[in-house]
């Protein structure tokens, strides 16, 4: 599985996606039960509020080989400060619509 990771721009200063990489490597969290090898093919931020750039950034990662897109937990769960993205649902739904069924979408990482 080739994953493109999208994270929240607002939390970059306090989180370097360390846990996202760890759970992918160790197949924990949202990746529990995945048997195939996980390769991270790209890491981008949402581009900043309101997050519209996440859609084109996801599409670009798919173009470059990603067959799955993972939304870092800073977006959907608000880690590490307990402040989820107010636009998470819209961002996720739009990426799903644009990417289609051939791209697996993880709505959180851990
Ligand atoms: S749109 Fe959401 S994910 Fe992106 S910077 Fe703003 S709060 Fe973070």
Domain range list for the chain:
2-106
Cα 35 to ligand 1 centroid, rounded to whole Å: 31
Cα 76 to ligand 1 centroid, rounded to whole Å: 10
Q: Is 87 a pocket residue for ligand 1 (Cβ < 6 Å)?
A: yes
Instruction: State the angle between helix axes of 53-63 and 88-99 in degrees (0 to 180), rounded to the nearest 10.
Output: 40
- Copy the structure tokens of residue 63: 């173009």
The domain 2-106: what is its CATH number? 3.40.50
Q: Which residues contact 101 (CB under 8 A, 6 or more apart)?
A: none
Please report which residue ranges of 1-110 form alpha helices under DSSP H. Answer: 18-26, 53-63, 73-76, 88-99
Cα 32 to ligand 1 centroid, rounded to whole Å: 26
pLDDT tens for each residue of the chain, 110 residues long: 999 999 999 999 999 999 999 999 999 999 999 999 999 999 999 999 999 999 999 999 999 999 999 999 999 999 999 999 999 999 999 999 999 899 999 999 99
């Amino acid at each position: 599985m080739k994953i493109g990771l999208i994270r929240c721009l607002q939390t970059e200063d306090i989180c370097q996606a360390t846990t996202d990489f760890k759970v992918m490597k160790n197949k924990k969290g949202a990746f529990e039960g995945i048997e195939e090898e996980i390769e991270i093919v790209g890491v981008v931020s949402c581009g900043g509020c309101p997050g519209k750039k996440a859609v084109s950034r996801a599409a670009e990662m798919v173009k470059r080989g990603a067959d799955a897109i993972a939304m870092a937990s800073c977006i959907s769960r608000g880690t590490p400060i307990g402040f989820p993205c107010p636009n998470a649902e819209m961002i996720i739904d739009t990426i799903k619509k644009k990417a289609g069924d051939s791209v697996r979408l993880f709505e959180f990482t851990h």
